[in-house]
């Protein structure tokens, strides 16, 4: 299998344009070259039944085999314990902002509130949505007026009547990552792991539920993976419509309604590629190397570029940085695009620049960005 992936990667490189162009978008993000090369034949060529893989019914044996294979490969990559269920659900991570309280609140058992940690933009969006369904207890918050670190991990006072405690493991907008996981006691820890999922090993057993939308390290948008501990599926989910009910989706093998079949097919290919590329340990090593290269270029620029997030809390997947002279930002973006470096504009909430370095971004793309940054600094410093 590894040799086959190498052949597909070589084919993709052969077919690549002469001038490389690099996509640093926060999402939808770059897919592995080898996955794109294989997908053409595997998913879009019609077979003897007149249907391509993505045209066959989701109730048929062909797709059910793909679904089972995707689940098994993901579980193996993460070492998912036997008492957890892996769901492949339609929609994005924002759907989970509502689905969590819909599914996990249980007033009859005394679970009337939800707990959230404020680490930046997406954690605040999540708690705003949760507040439509329950009282939100903010149990931890980033230090300072602006989010430049994850919340301190000591002394989280999580009320026992909270149905869960939610964290955003990696803040895509703010460029902040938790350096470790909090201890929430008997209250299940829930994580939005969207932008760091599959970028490094993850101890699933520390969480009651993990969710991640696909468009970073899994595949195309429109799919969200949910990994949920089985005891949480026994909660009544009184507010959840059938298609949004974790328990019912688990009982129907993620096929209560039509699942996003194309996204699941591609996810299965991505899981296979990660496995044959050395697994999550290899992904973590490569991602650390890429991030170190970029952060080093920023930190050694004598202040021309700045990375505001505190050391130890800097994301390896979403590198946020700024020009000391913000008036040069638009010039930088224009010149970078001309050099084949695209989608580097920071989120509108924080401005500046952002380079997202997901698994499929090769070292060559980061090296091209670092070289451009040095040349830009020489020309404008």
List 122, 156, 174, 272, catalytic entry? 122
CA torsion angle for 23, 28, 33, 34 (degrees, to 10)?
170
**262-to-220, 342, 371 alpha-carbon distances in Å:** 8, 26, 37
- Burial class of residue 297 (count of CB atoms within 10 Å of its CB; 0-12, 13-18, 19+): buried
Cβ-contact 20, 364 below 8 angstroms? yes
List 8, 33, 192, 272, catalytic entry? 192
Q: DSSP alpha helices (H): ranges in 208-278?
A: 246-251, 261-276
CA 93 to chain centre: 9
Active site residue 216: yes
CA–CA gap between residue 276 and residue 4 (Å, rounded): 10
**Closest of 351, 372, 360 to residue 297, by C-alpha:** 372
Six-digit token string for 159? 């009320």
Active site residue 122: yes
Q: What is the residue-wise DSSP string for 322-380?
A: EESSGGGHHHHHHHHHHTTEE--BPPTTT-SEEEE--TT--HHHHHHHHHHHHHHHHHH
Residue in the structure block whose two tokens are 């959230």 = 116
Six-digit token string for 17? 């344009």
Six-digit token string for 365? 């793309």
CA–CA gap between residue 380 and residue 88 (Å, rounded): 48
CA–CA gap between residue 372 and residue 369 (Å, rounded): 5
Active site residue 192: yes
List 22, 33, 118, 216, catalytic entry? 216
Catalytic residues: 122, 192, 216
């Amino acid at each position: 299998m590894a040799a086959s992936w190498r052949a597909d990667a070589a084919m993709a490189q052969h077919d690549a344009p002469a001038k490389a162009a690099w996509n640093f978008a926060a999402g939808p993000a770059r897919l592995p070259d080898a996955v794109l090369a294989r997908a053409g034949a595997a998913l879009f060529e019609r077979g003897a039944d007149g249907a391509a893989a993505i045209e066959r019914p989701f109730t048929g044996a062909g797709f059910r085999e793909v679904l089972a294979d995707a689940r098994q490969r993901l579980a193996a990559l993460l070492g998912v314990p036997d008492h957890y269920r892996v769901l492949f659900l339609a929609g994005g991570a924002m759907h989970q902002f509502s689905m969590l309280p819909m599914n996990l609140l249980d007033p009859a058992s005394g679970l009337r509130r939800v707990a959230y940690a404020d680490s930046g933009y997406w954690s605040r969006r999540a708690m705003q949505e949760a507040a439509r369904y329950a009282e939100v207890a903010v149990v931890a918050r980033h230090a300072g007026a602006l989010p430049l670190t994850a919340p301190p991990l000591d002394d989280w006072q999580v009320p026992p009547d909270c149905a869960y405690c939610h964290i955003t493991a990696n803040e895509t907008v703010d460029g902040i990552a938790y350096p470790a996981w909090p201890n929430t006691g008997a209250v299940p820890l829930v994580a939005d792991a969207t932008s760091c999922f599959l970028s490094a090993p993850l101890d699933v057993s520390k969480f009651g539920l993990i969710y991640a939308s696909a468009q970073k390290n899994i595949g195309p948008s429109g799919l969200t993976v949910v990994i949920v501990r089985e005891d949480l599926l026994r909660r009544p989910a009184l507010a959840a419509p059938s298609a949004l009910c974790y328990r019912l989706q688990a009982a129907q093998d993620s096929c209560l309604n039509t699942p996003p079949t194309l996204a699941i097919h591609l996810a299965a290919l991505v899981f296979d590629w990660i496995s044959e590329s050395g697994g999550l340990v290899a992904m973590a090593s490569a991602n650390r190397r890429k991030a170190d290269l970029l952060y080093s270029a920023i930190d050694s620029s004598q202040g021309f570029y700045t990375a505001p997030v505190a050391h130890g809390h800097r994301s390896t997947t979403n590198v946020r940085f700024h020009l000391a002279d913000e008036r040069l930002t638009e010039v930088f973006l224009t010149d970078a695009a001309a050099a084949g470096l695209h989608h580097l504009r920071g989120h509108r909430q924080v401005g500046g620049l952002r380079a997202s370095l997901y698994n499929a971004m090769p070292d060559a793309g980061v090296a091209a960005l670092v070289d451009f940054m040095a040349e830009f600094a020489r020309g404008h410093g």
